[in-house]
Structure 1
């Protein structure tokens, strides 16, 4: 069985890159306006966002969906 995931545009892309790219594209306010989570609003940082998103699957799913919609 191959490790390739041709139908997964996020394959090989780290969550840190996803958050960093979205933040660079939209800014923290823009991210918060699209996905209402406090890690994008109250004292936002990539590190705090990663910590939250790694524990909160529904929010991570929304962030990954926004990344795919934005860049693919």
Structure 2
């Protein structure tokens, strides 16, 4: 763990890694129920979801919080 951000469990993790692990854990359908955003409901893919999450801070925050509560 880096000394620059010792209390940040997401430090060094790419958004793609977070999303991929969440999809593996829950699947798209359950993920869409947990985080109500259309990119998880309508023809979901990692690529389209990443594009949306990178330009939508509130949605990215929800994904990051779910990742922390699930895996950390």
TM-score by length of 2: 0.95
> Unpaired segments of 5 or more residues in structure 1?
none
Q: Which residue in 1 is equivalent to 2:56?
A: 56
Deviating above 6 A after TM superposition, structure 1's stretches of 4 or more consecutive aligned residues are: none
Aligned residues: 71
Q: Which residue in 2 is equivalent to 1:26?
A: 26
> Could you say what the CA RMSD is over the residues aligned between the two structures, in angstroms?
1.2
> Unpaired segments of 5 or more residues in structure 2?
none
What is the CA deviation profile of residues 25-52 of structure 1, one whole-angstrom value per residue up to 9, with x for unaligned ones? Answer: 0000111000000010100000000000
TM-score by length of 1: 0.95
C-alpha displacement at 1:4, in angstroms? 1.9
The 5-angstrom pairing of residues 6-45 of structure 1 reads: 6-45=6-45
